[in-house]
Amino acid sequence: MPLLSGYNLWPQLMQGIVVDSFLREYDCSFSEIEDYYRTQIIADSEFLEKQKTKMLCEGAGSDNIDFFLKRPILLEKFKQRVFGPLVEGAFLAMKSGLDKVVFFMIRNRDHELIRELFFRLESGEDVFSVLAARYSEGRESKSEGKIGPVELKQLNPALASLLATTQIGVLNPPVVIDGYGVICLLKEKIPARLDEVTKRNLLNRLFEEWLAKEVNAFFY
């Protein structure tokens, strides 16, 4: 018990207990097991038996060996059955935050300097890349002011709101965000699509949100 706490394994154990209480209602065929572990079985025809022996040596009860061997397959079945039908609705609800943008930004805590830089850009006296590399105080200074592609939801909410409503190629007047004077120029908007990667990410997100609530209800 002290080791579980000392190595911060309690959260993982609590999650496992909750999830497994649901997974034990599921099952899978031997062919599904072979398909899941196909790469390992090709490399070693005795892989499944060796895994069972390994789990026994590590202290797993003999009545749980098959379950733990099947567990990753059962977990995927559970996710697909419970949260699969919710993915499209979640995508529509979150779509605006999932859209990606590519933009240029200069930020500096000296607001007077930012105003001066804006006028220099607006007049054509200087170019964005040069000023960003020289004056921007964020990581974008290393990429000549360029940021992205990045999801809007990963940005500061004020910056995300600005980029979501601005037009491509329009130099935005300076704004103050988290104490920085900020100039930004939107280069590209990339609308989110419900492709396989997005489906997978949303499926996992829905599962993680559900799991956090279940763990809290079960243990606290």
- 3 state SS of 11: helix
CB 99 within 8 Å of CB 192: yes
Task: Compute CA distances 197 → 86, 192, 193, 200, whole Å.
Answer: 16, 11, 9, 5
Q: In CATH, what class is 100-190?
A: alpha beta
Q: Is the pLDDT of residue 214 over 80?
A: yes
Q: What is the pLDDT of residue 5?
A: 81
The whole-angstrom separation of Cα 119 and Cα 137 is 19
CA atoms of 90 and 195, how far apart (whole Å): 13
The per-residue pLDDT for range 8-65, each reduced to its tens digit, is 888 899 999 999 999 999 999 999 999 999 999 999 999 999 999 999 998 888 889 9
Which pLDDT tens digit goes with each residue over 178-198? Answer: 999 999 999 999 999 999 999
pLDDT tens digits for 99-145? 999 999 999 999 999 999 999 999 999 999 999 999 999 999 999 99
Q: Would you list the domain boundaries of the chain?
A: 2-90+197-219, 100-190
Enter the tokens of residue 101. 């943008």
Q: Is pLDDT larger for residue 191 or for residue 3?
A: 191
Q: Is the pLDDT of residue 205 over 80?
A: yes
Whether the predicted pLDDT of 156 surpasses 80: yes
Q: pTM value?
A: 0.74
Task: For residue 211, give the H/E element and its range.
Answer: helix 196-219
Q: Which helix (H) or strand (E) holds 101?
A: strand 100-108
Q: What is the pLDDT of residue 104?
A: 96
